[in-house]
Amino acid sequence: MTAELLLGVGRFLLASTLLLLLTIPTAFVVIQMELKVIAQMQLRYGPNRIGPWGMFQSTIHGFKFLAKEDHMPDQADRATFTLAPWMVYMAAAMSMLVMPFAPGAIAADFNIGIVYFFAVIGLSVVGLLIAGWASYNKYSLLGGLRSAAQMVSYEIPLTLSVVGVVVLGGTLNFRELIGWQQAHGWMLLWQPVGLGIFYIASLAEINRTPFDMVEADSELVAGPFTEYSGMRFGFFFFAEYVALFIMSGIMAALFFGGWLAPWPFPAQLTGFGGTLYGLFWFFLKSYLFVFLAVWLRATLPRVRVDQLMGMAWKVLLPLAMLNLLVTATLVVWLNL
C-alpha cells in the first residue's frame, strides 16, 4: 500500500516536472515559428543571426527576459501583481497534463480529461484580470476587463462545440476518443461545423489574432502586460505561446485523430515504437495548426470588441446549439 502510494507520488512528480520542462522548449519553438513565418510572409528573412538559420533567437529572447530589470509600478498591488503571471502560466502548464501526445505518453489518463482540460484552460482569465487590475494602469485595466468579457463568452461556444464531439464519441477520455476516431474515422468528418466553431472560439480563447483584443497593441499598448517587465512578462509571453500549442494539440486530438496517421495505425508497432510513431503524428498536426494560426496573424486585422462579442453570442452560440441538437438527434435516432 505504502509502496504503491510512493510510486504514485513519484510518478506524479516525474510527470509534472517533465511537463513543466516541456513547456519551455515548446514556447521557444512556437515563438521561433512565429518570428520566422511572419517574417517570410512579409518578404523578410526574419531572425537569422543567432545559431543556424537564426534558430536560437527565441531562446535568446527567453534569456534576455531573465537579464532584464524586474520593475513594479509604485502603486501596483504587490501580491496580486506577483501572482498574476504565475496564474496564467500555471493554467497553461496544468492543461498539458491531459494532452494525449501518443499512446502511452499521457501524463494523466483519467476519465474526465476533456472536462479537466476546459476547466483548467479557463483559469488563465483570472490571471489576466488580476494582472489588469493590479498594474494600476488604465490600459491594463481595460485589457483585463476585455479579457474577462472575451474569454468568458467564448468559453460557451467552445465547450458546446466539444460537447458534440463527446456525445458522438461517448467518452470524456482523450485516449478513448482517439480510439473511437480510429474505428469510425476522424471527427473532422463527423463534426465539420463543430470544428469551425471550435477553431474560431479557440483562437479567441487564447487571444490570437484576429481576436487579440486583450493585447491590442495599437489600442491598449500591451493590455494587461503593459506594466510587466523582465521574467514576469516572460511568463505571460511563454504562457500565450504554450497555450497556442496546447489548443492546436487539443484540436488535433479532438478532430484530427490525435496521434493517428491518415492511414491505419500499423499493428506491429507497439510499446516504445508506437509511442514514437504517435508522437511524430501528434506534433506534426499540432505544429500545422500553430502554423495556421501564425498565418492568420500575418494576414488579418483585428476585429473590434463589439463585433467580437456579437459574433460569440449571435453567431457561434446558436450555431453550436444547433450543431449539438442535430448531433444528439442523430446519435439517438441512428443509435451510433
Partner 1 sequence: MTTEPQIRDPLEIERAEEARLRTAAGLPPIPRSAGEFAGFESVGLPDRPPQTDRERDVYTLDEGEMLVNMGPQHPSTHGVMRLVLKVRGEVVVDIDPVLGYLHRGIEKLCENATYTTVMTYVDPMDYLSSMHNEHAPAIAFEKLYGIKAPKRAEYIRALVVELNRVFSHALMMGFLALDMGGLTPILYGFINRDEVVDLLSAISGQRMLFNFFRVGGVNFDANDEFISRLSTWRAGVLKNVDMNERILTDNEIFRGRTIGMGVLSGKEAIALGVTGPSLRASGVPFDVRKAHPYSIYPELEFEVITQPGGDVYSRYMQRIAELKQSIHLIDQIVDKMPHGAVQAQVPGIIRPKPGRAYAAVESPRGLYSVYAISDGGPNPYRFRMRDPSFVSLQAIPKLMPGRLIADTMAVMASFDPVMGGVDK
Partner 2 sequence: MRIPGLGILKGLRQTGRNYWAPKVTNQYPESRPTMPDRWRGRLDLIYDPFGEHKCEVCFQCAQVCPVEAIDMSGFDSQGNRIRYGMPEIYDERKDPNAYRRAGLPAEPMRNAARWEEEIDGSWLRGVIEGFGGRPEALVAIFSAVQERHGYLPERALRLISDTMTIHWAQVFGAAGLGGFRLLPAEGHLLTVCSCAACRFAGGQALLDALSDELGIAPGETTSDGTWSLETNDQVAAGAIAPAIRVDTMVYGPLSVVQARHLVSERRKSSARATARAGRES
- The site partner of 68 among partner 2, partner 1, none (C-beta below 5 to 8 Å per kind) is none
Cβ pair 123, 87 in contact under 8 A:
yes
Work out whether 304 is an interface residue with partner 1 (CB under 8 A): yes
- The site partner of 230 among partner 1, partner 2, none (C-beta below 5 to 8 Å per kind) is none
State the nearest-atom distance from the C-beta of 219 to partner 2, in Å: 21
Per CB under 8 A, which region of 11-19, 82-90, 189-197, 296-304 contacts partner 1?
296-304
Can you tell me which of 13, 21, 44, 329 binds partner 1, judged by CB under 8 A?
A: 44
Phi, psi (5° rounding) for residue 216? 25, 70
Per CB under 8 A, which region of 120-128, 182-190, 192-200, 293-301 contacts partner 1?
293-301
Indicate the residue among 49 and 304 with the shorter CB distance to partner 1. 304
Work out whether 212 is an interface residue with partner 1 (CB under 8 A): yes
Indicate the residue among 197 and 242 with the shorter CB distance to partner 2. 197
**What is the residue type of 150?**
Q
Work out whether 34 is an interface residue with partner 1 (CB under 8 A): no
* Cα–Cα dist 5/335, whole Å: 42
Give the Cα-Cα-Cα angle 10, 12, 15 (nearest 5 degrees).
105
* Cα–Cα dist 125/130, whole Å: 9
Work out whether 231 is an interface residue with partner 1 (CB under 8 A): no
Indicate the residue among 212 and 227 with the shorter CB distance to partner 1. 212
Which string of DSSP letters, residue by residue, matches 54-70? GTTHHHHHHHHHHHS--
Work out whether 40 is an interface residue with partner 1 (CB under 8 A): no
Which string of DSSP letters, residue by residue, matches 44-106? -----SSSGGGTTHHHHHHHHHHHS-----TTS-HHHHHHHHHHHHHHHHHHGGG---STT--
Cβ pair 254, 165 in contact under 8 A:
yes
The answer for residues whose C-beta is within 8 angstroms of residue 51's C-beta and 6 or more apart is 57, 59
User: Of 192-211, which residues contact partner 1 (CB under 8 A)?
Assistant: 209-210
- Enter the C-alpha cell of residue 310: 456579437
- Enter the C-alpha cell of residue 138: 488604465
Give CA 179 to chain center in angstroms. Answer: 22
Which string of DSSP letters, residue by residue, matches 243-309? HHHHHHHHHHHHHS-TT--SSPPPTT--HHHHHHHHHHHHHHHHHHHHHHHHHHHHHPPPPPHHHHH
Which residues in this chain contact partner 2 in the complex, by CB under 8 A? 37, 40-45, 48, 295-296, 298-300
- The site partner of 78 among partner 2, partner 1, none (C-beta below 5 to 8 Å per kind) is none
- The site partner of 296 among partner 2, partner 1, none (C-beta below 5 to 8 Å per kind) is partner 2
Can you tell me which of 1, 5, 42, 267 binds partner 1, judged by CB under 8 A?
A: 42
- Enter the C-alpha cell of residue 50: 543567432
Length of the chain measured in residues: 336
Can you tell me which of 19, 30, 216, 251 binds partner 1, judged by CB under 8 A?
A: 216
Can you tell me which of 83, 119, 221, 279 binds partner 1, judged by CB under 8 A?
A: 221
Per CB under 8 A, which region of 125-133, 251-259, 260-268, 292-300 contacts partner 1?
292-300
- Enter the C-alpha cell of residue 100: 494525449
Work out whether 142 is an interface residue with partner 1 (CB under 8 A): yes
Binding residues for partner 1 (CB under 8 A): 38, 41-44, 138-139, 142, 146, 209-210, 212, 216-221, 297-307
